[in-house]
Amino acid sequence: MGLTPGVVHVAYGDCDHCAYGSTYPGCGIACVSYIEDVIFRRYVAPEEVAAIFVEPILGEGGYIVPPLEFHRRLRELASKYGILFVADEVQSGMGRTGRMFAIEHWRVVPDVITIAKGVASGMPLGATVASSRIMSWKPGSHGSTFGGNPVSCAAALETIALLENGLVENAARMGEYIMHRLEPIADRFRHIGRISGKGLMIGIEILRNKRSRKPYPALRDRIVEACFWKGLLILPCGPSSVRFVPPLVIGEREADIALSIFEDVLSHLEGKRGTR
């Protein structure tokens, strides 16, 4: 709750760390029921709510993939009360997860999608995409100084063409390849917990050990730094995870190099003999 005035924050559908202490699937998707049963009754009336914003896959929060029912129930809730369902695809959109938009994995159709980051392959551009039902504004009714930069827009058109002509499929295929290669690594190293994500949006949780499941952010930070010095850029996310978000053009050779650096770093930090 709190943070930005006028915005109510609720817990994400993170089944491994359920904020309500429930267990999926017996929980009845408590994280969504809570919005209707508690938030709408005690904190804000549903007719006061303009939109529900949600990331299809939680990005900065730890690359968490919610269960199938999560987005579907949120969509139903939004429709029931005439609230807009906004999918924040700034991180997960534009092919990243092996579909053009991550929300497609849940077969949910949002009213609005926000996109940025990958949309113009690094050129500065963000966009709000909405169904024609609600995007009925006259041209010029919304603008900003640097909005619609022609060079960025040209980069975005080229990016979309590349995505439609193979890069979305490559993200799906290479995501599966990397996930498959990560399985034995996760088995071998005691500090690796949940591996989550879709396509080329992959999160790896770093734990004190598999049994206690306690986060180990200090080790996570050491892994990120050690990978950096060996030429592999990975980023932290969530309380204690690292993320693999390679460019969508990645092939098996580059993935193998990245995974071998990652494995070497883990071997070194765990004091084990490397396997490669």
What are the residues binding ligand PLP (CB under 6 A)? 55, 59-60, 88, 90-91, 116, 126
Q: How near is the Cβ of 91 to ligand PLP at its closest, in Å?
A: 4
Q: How near is the Cβ of 253 to ligand PLP at its closest, in Å?
A: 29
Nearer to ligand PLP, 91 or 170 (CB): 91
Nearer to ligand PLP, 207 or 237 (CB): 237
Nearer to ligand PLP, 91 or 240 (CB): 91
Nearer to ligand PLP, 89 or 205 (CB): 89
Q: Which long-range contacts (CB under 8 A, 24 or more apart) does 35-43 make?
A: 35/10, 35/74, 35/77, 36/77, 39/8, 39/10, 40/81, 43/1, 43/8
DSSP three-state, residue 240:
coil
Q: How near is the Cβ of 56 to ligand PLP at its closest, in Å?
A: 9
Give the number of C-alpha atoms closer than 13 A to the C-alpha of residue 115, restricted to the C-beta side.
23
- The residue behind tokens 């024609």 is 132
Q: How near is the Cβ of 251 to ligand PLP at its closest, in Å?
A: 26
